[in-house]
Amino acid sequence: MEKFLIKGENRLEGELSIHGAKNSALPILAASLLSGECVIHNCPRLTDVDAACNILNYLGSTTKREETSIVVGASNSDNYCIPDDLMRMMRSSIVFLGAIIAKCGRARISMPGGCELGPRPIDLHLSALEKLGVVIEEDHGYLNCSVPGKLRGAHISLPFPSVGATENIMIAACLASGETVITNPAREPEISDLAAFLNACGAKICVTSEGNIHIFGVEKLYPAEHKVISDRIAAATYLSCGAITGGDILLKDVCCEHLAAVLPTFEEMGCTLSIEKDSVRIKSKFPLNPLKCVRTMPYPGFPTDAQSPLMAAACLAQGSSVFVENIFESRYKQVPELLRMGADIKVEGRVAVVHGVQELHSACVRCTDLRGGAAIAVAALAAQGESELLAIEHIDRGYENFENNLQSIGACIVRVNDGKE
Ligand SMILES: CC(=O)N[C@H]1[C@@H](OP(=O)(O)OP(=O)(O)OC[C@H]2O[C@@H](n3ccc(=O)[nH]c3=O)[C@H](O)[C@@H]2O)O[C@H](CO)[C@@H](O)[C@@H]1O
Ligand SMILES: C=C(OP(=O)(O)O)C(=O)O
């Protein structure tokens, strides 16, 4: 198994370029099933992206990486089943459901994988697809889905602005007859990016001033090229690395507009930010100030995915910081690992109180999930001594060149294989 060895207490200094957004690239790759040949630029090299390509290949499409782009050939894709092992590889496998149904009129899939953050049901996805005319039957852990006739537009009001459900509806409704309206949709930048890609393929999707999404069904989608937006969560993670190490880091290829809820938290900690449209420089200052209260919310609120890395930085603040996790029931899995490194954190339900400590120390720690793993790495960068990070495959799901990036700005981090299975 691979692991990271991180020697802490190095001040990080230098420039990094932020890769394309995982959570944009994945639904866009799923949606590419509906057009002939697509070129998706700025597609990050991540194991989740590999998993999306494996699903496309299984379905009969071709995928080819060319530098930072992926070329998808979906014209001959006619398989409508995704086997359980591929479904379990990541959460976004569920977004292939809308695409396969729109393309083949039927689909057979099982439950998706992804980070274990508490219950992650797909009821909103399924009830929305049923409204579009999909008939869904359970079959020993699989879902058999079919459309008698054609998908038809519908009014879908989401009780919660689920990111994945919004994506599934948008993709399926593109080729439905008539108009689909989604009220209370997710408004994350990745949703707008998916709409931009689908519109480039000939779909007709628009967002009203009230924030509802209207999708006017079209007969066919066409080949297109699209550049994936920058990964706002990777940016938030590297900002946390800068903050906790007293660093000075310039992040390039960032969309600061997408970080509007995140950047003020670093300023609250006392860091100085120089914010341009597509870059941000963080100059950290010790000791860090504590954070009054960070509440995770759907976009444009503070993103749940950035909660864990920011919490790691707050471990060394001078005072107590409060976090309230409102999106997932169980998104504090990094906490027991941070405690092993000397952090002082109390969790009660959705609330975590981080009492800042003078120093963190090295430990053997296990990545619990993607962002939890990143949080542990953030803490290790500032801890005294050499930490051993296990289960780093979680980090590889969402961060391209993680250790090389960190090495390039002065971190002492190496990936080693311990020879164990
Ligand atoms: C691949 C991807 O893009 N993942 C992101 C996506 O996940 P994902 O699409 O799974 O997140 P959702 O917005 O759907 O989930 C948010 C909340 O809604 C609940 N829910 C969701 C669907 C449903 O049918 N029923 C239901 O109850 C979930 O359990 C969770 O509590 O958005 C999350 C919230 O911003 C991010 O943390 C994930 O990084
Ligand atoms: C939770 C995440 O991913 P997934 O939804 O794929 O598990 C994430 O990107 O932080």
Domain parsing of the chain, residue ranges: 2-19+230-417, 22-227
Positions marked active-site: 115
Q: In degrees rounded to 5, what are phi and psi of residue 334?
A: -75, -20
109 is in an annotated binding site: no
> So what's the pLDDT on residue 420?
76
CATH class of 22-227: alpha beta
Q: What is the mean pLDDT of each run of 10 residues along the chain (421 residues)?
A: 97 98 98 94 97 97 97 94 94 96 96 86 96 95 94 98 98 98 98 98 95 97 97 98 98 98 98 97 96 98 98 98 96 97 98 98 97 98 98 97 98 91 68
Radius of gyration, CA atoms only, the chain: 21
- Give the other-Cβ count within 10 Å of 300's Cβ: 13
Q: Is the CB of 382 under 6 A from ligand 1?
A: no
- Output the CA 177–ligand 1 centroid distance in Å: 27
Q: Which helix (H) or strand (E) holds 215?
A: strand 213-216
Helix intervals (H) in 132-202: 163-173, 189-200
Give this complex's ipTM: 0.99
CA 107 – ligand 1 centroid, Å? 22
pLDDT of 100 = 97
Residues with CB under 6 A from ligand 2: 22-23, 90-92, 114-115, 305, 370-371, 398
Rounded to two decimals, the pTM is 0.97
The reply to whether 2-19+230-417 and 22-227 are identical in fold is yes
Widest distance between CA atoms in the chain: 65
CATH topology of domain 2-19+230-417: UDP-n-acetylglucosamine1-carboxyvinyl-transferase; Chain (3.65.10)
| Pairwise CA distance, residues 347 & 230, whole Å | 32
Considering only CA atoms, which residue is closest to atom 10 of ligand 2?
A: 305
pLDDT at 119: 87
Dihedral sign from CA coordinates of 412, 336, 321, 303: positive
Residue of the nearest CA to atom 4 in ligand 1?
23
pLDDT of residue 36: 84
- Cα-flanking dihedrals φ and ψ of residue 301, to 5°? -75, 180
**Pick from 308, 259, 266, 307: which is nearest to 290 by CA?**
266
DSSP H or E stretch at residue 387:
strand 386-390
What's the confidence (pLDDT) of residue 302? 98
> Edge to edge, what strands does the sheet with 412-417 contain?
364-366, 386-390, 2-7, 412-417
Dihedral pair phi/psi, residue 16, rounded to 5°: -135, 150
The CA 120 to ligand 1 mean position distance, Å, reads 7
